[in-house]
Chain A
Amino acid sequence: KQEVTQIPAALSVPEGENLVLNCSFTDSAIYNLQWFRQDPGKGLTSLLLIQSSQREQTSGRLNASLDKSSGRSTLYIAASQPGDSATYLCAVNERSYIPTFGRGTSLIVHP
């Protein structure tokens, strides 16, 4: 059974720092990996989708990398801002097409 782990569980940083959020998964036979953002009391917003054949995807200040063979993905946030404060979740999609989620990293960026 696929297990997804996210480290750290919580992170508090001053504005302007560059951040790395980590996601690891136990079964490397995945189709793709998706990073989401969840604001308090809200739904999940898709940030980036990386196909298994890709090594990274970029969107603005966000860059996600994927190392399928080692079962790892990282989400890099450049020049963090208070508006980036949220919970970030990663999910892997396998042959079953069912996203399996990690527990998330709760990020606080303070001014």
Chain B
Amino acid sequence: DAGVIQSPRHEVTEMGQEVTLRCKPISGHNSLFWYRQTMMRGLELLIYFNNNVPIDDSGMPEDRFSAKMPNASFSTLKIQPSEPRDSAVYFCASSRPTGGITEAFFGQGTRLTVV
């Protein structure tokens, strides 16, 4: 398996533009996570899907952020409109919880810069 695949790897956009980040989890994994990493706050969970259903979105900062998982092999995180404070590295991770074993695997991340 190629692991968790994220695209794009880097994104530079102007304030106010819409940004869409994409993630393909590992085949067979039924849990998917979106995290944001900044120097100030470290790794923060944004949203967690299980079997394509959003279970916990309490970490989504505000209504400008939305996430979807239309099927087991694809998820998107959208920011509209984007702001400079959204600049961060966004990670997608997947796992397959089985009997308490929840080893998470991460993608390479998308480095977002909003100018």
Contact = CB atoms under 8 A, between A and B. Distances in A.
Contacts of A22: none
B81 interface: no
Given A96-B56, A97-B97, A34 B104 contact: yes
Interface residues of A, number: 25
A43 B43 CA distance: 12
Contact of B107 (A31, A43, A97): A43
B28 interface: no
B42 A98 contact: no
A44 B103 CA distance: 12
A99 B42 contact: no
A91 interface: yes
Contacts of A61: none
Interface residues of B, number: 24
A38 to B, nearest CB: 9
Contacts of A44: 91, 93, 106
A27 to B, nearest CB: 15
A46 B91 CA distance: 14
B55 to A, nearest CB: 8
Given A43-B91, A44-B91, A51 B100 contact: yes
Contact of B48 (A45, A49, A51, A98): A98
Interface string B74-100: 000000000000000001010101001
A93 interface: yes
Contacts of B102: 31-32, 93, 97, 99
